[in-house]
């Protein structure tokens, strides 16, 4: 699995450059537990839009990087013991850039339909944290940040949209 995870990263050369004066970027992980295997027809509404939504993210203002394999997405990666859990890991220039993509782009359509494809989470399903501009979080680090948020709640090391910590406190 470690070899597969290391192959999933683009090099830093393919990451969008920082804006002048931006020395920190926002990393985010979100996970979801599938209701059926990715190949199942009931998940087609999700998988059929992956390329579109990933292209939308790639072109979004403030987007820096996203975890992906040679297939162009991260759906084949399984960092959790439960094979039904899929992961998304991205880096953004700012909190506002991520919020705009998540809630003010066509991505919001997938959020509205997520119950069709994913089980309702019983714990935090995403975490945010600041990273130095030009660096990329590992999958292991991202999983640890989500677990930290779940275990102690929001902190400068892992937080959510509901309780944001500024980069200076991270």
pLDDT score, position 6? 43
Which domain, by its residues, includes 154? 22-169
Note the residue count of the chain.
170
Residue 7 lies in a domain: no
Domains held by the chain: number? 1
What phi, psi does 125 have (nearest 5°)? -110, 0
Residue 95 lies in a domain: yes
Residue 154 lies in a domain: yes
Dihedral angle computed from the Cα positions of residues 150, 135, 156 and 128, in that order, rounded to the nearest 10 degrees: -40
Is the confidence at residue 97, as pLDDT, over 80? yes
Residue 120 lies in a domain: yes
CATH number of the domain where residue 36 is located:
3.30.70.100
pTM, whole model, 2 decimals? Answer: 0.86
Residue 5 lies in a domain: no
How many whole angstroms separate alpha carbon 86 and alpha carbon 134?
Answer: 25
Residue 14 lies in a domain: no
Q: Which residues contact 121 (CB under 8 A, 6 or more apart)?
A: 32, 33
Is the confidence at residue 81, as pLDDT, over 80? yes
Residue 10 lies in a domain: no
pLDDT in tens, 2-16: 444 444 444 443 455
Residue 37 lies in a domain: yes
pLDDT in tens, 26-67: 999 999 999 999 999 999 999 999 999 999 999 999 999 999
Is the confidence at residue 71, as pLDDT, over 60? yes
Model confidence band, residue 103 (pLDDT cutoffs 50, 70, 90): very high
């Amino acid at each position: 699995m470690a070899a597969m995870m290391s192959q999933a990263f683009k090099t830093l050369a393919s990451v969008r450059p920082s804006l002048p004066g931006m020395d920190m970027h926002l990393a985010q992980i979100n996970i979801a537990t599938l209701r059926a295997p990715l190949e199942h027809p009931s998940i087609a509404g999700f998988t059929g839009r992956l390329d579109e939504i990933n292209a939308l993210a790639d072109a979004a203002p403030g987007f820096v990087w996203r975890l992906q394999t040679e297939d162009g997405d991260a759906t084949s990666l399984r960092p959790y013991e439960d094979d039904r859990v899929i992961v998304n890991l991205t880096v953004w220039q700012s909190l506002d850039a991520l919020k705009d993509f998540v809630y003010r782009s066509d991505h919001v359509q997938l959020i509205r339909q997520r119950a069709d494809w994913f089980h309702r989470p019983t714990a935090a399903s995403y975490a945010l944290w600041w990273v130095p501009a030009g660096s990329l979080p590992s999958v292991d680090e991202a999983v640890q940040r989500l677990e930290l948020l779940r275990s102690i709640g929001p902190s400068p090391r892992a937080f959510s949209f509901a309780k944001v910590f500024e980069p200076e406190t991270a």
